[in-house]
Amino acid sequence: MTKKWILIAVIAALFGGVAYTSSEDCASWLTGTTDEKLDTLACIQPGLGTVMIEYSNRMGNMYYAAQAGNWGMAAYQLKEAVEIQEVGETTRPSKAPLLINFEETSLKPLAQSIVDQDWDSFQMHFNIMVNACNACHVATGHRYIVYQLPDQPLVPAKLDTGQTFTREELEQILSDLLE
């Protein structure tokens, strides 16, 4: 092929590609009756495995934020963890009672330690929580999943910001959990 033909071939491929993607409806994979489409959508919602990855990342972030004295960030991470847990309660209703119980017995005391900005109490309740996480893995037939605090937080944010927080501010962030 000459250079001219190679160029024409490349242009044709590029435009062909553009034409292909622009004519493809982004939901073209969603077929069948409305009920079938809803079933397809329901089946691709995140289950507990996906939820748990975010859940555990947030727990590590919360720990290191609290250690750095960034109680606002610790409160935020816990609030977000509860939100993703609620996704799990919805998509895996058989696990909802265990998750709600875990929230009551393990997460509420942690929320209280955060509002009190009490590092000793936080550490104690964090350890109790980790045992409860792993007890639930055993109870649900996943004894090989043993959570442990990572060496570093995953969040790409500065944690030792030197900021101070009022009790009201922290209560506000954690209001759903504390109510």
Q: Which residues of the shown chain bind ligand HEC in the complex (CB under 6 A)?
A: 47-49, 52-53, 55-56, 59, 95, 98-99, 102, 129, 133, 136-137, 140, 142, 145, 147
Using the minimum distance from each CB to ligand HEC, give the nearer residue, 67 or 169. 67
Cβ atoms of 176 and 82 within 8 Å: the answer is: yes
For residue 43, give Cα distances in angstroms to 51, 75, 91, 158: 15, 32, 9, 37
Other C-beta atoms closer than 10 Å to the C-beta of 34 total: 7
| Least distance between ligand HEC and beta carbon 126 (Å) | 9
Using the minimum distance from each CB to ligand HEC, give the nearer residue, 60 or 72. 60
Other C-beta atoms closer than 10 Å to the C-beta of 108 total: 14
Cα–Cα distance, 114 to 81 (Å, whole number): 14
Using the minimum distance from each CB to ligand HEC, give the nearer residue, 131 or 175. 131
Token pair belonging to 167: 């009790």
| Least distance between ligand HEC and beta carbon 89 (Å) | 9
Using the minimum distance from each CB to ligand HEC, give the nearer residue, 38 or 138. 138
What sign does the CA torsion over 108, 111, 112, 113 have?
A: positive
Cβ atoms of 148 and 85 within 8 Å: the answer is: no
Using the minimum distance from each CB to ligand HEC, give the nearer residue, 102 or 169. 102
What sign does the CA torsion over 140, 97, 112, 83 have?
A: positive
| Least distance between ligand HEC and beta carbon 146 (Å) | 9
| Least distance between ligand HEC and beta carbon 19 (Å) | 40
| Least distance between ligand HEC and beta carbon 5 (Å) | 51
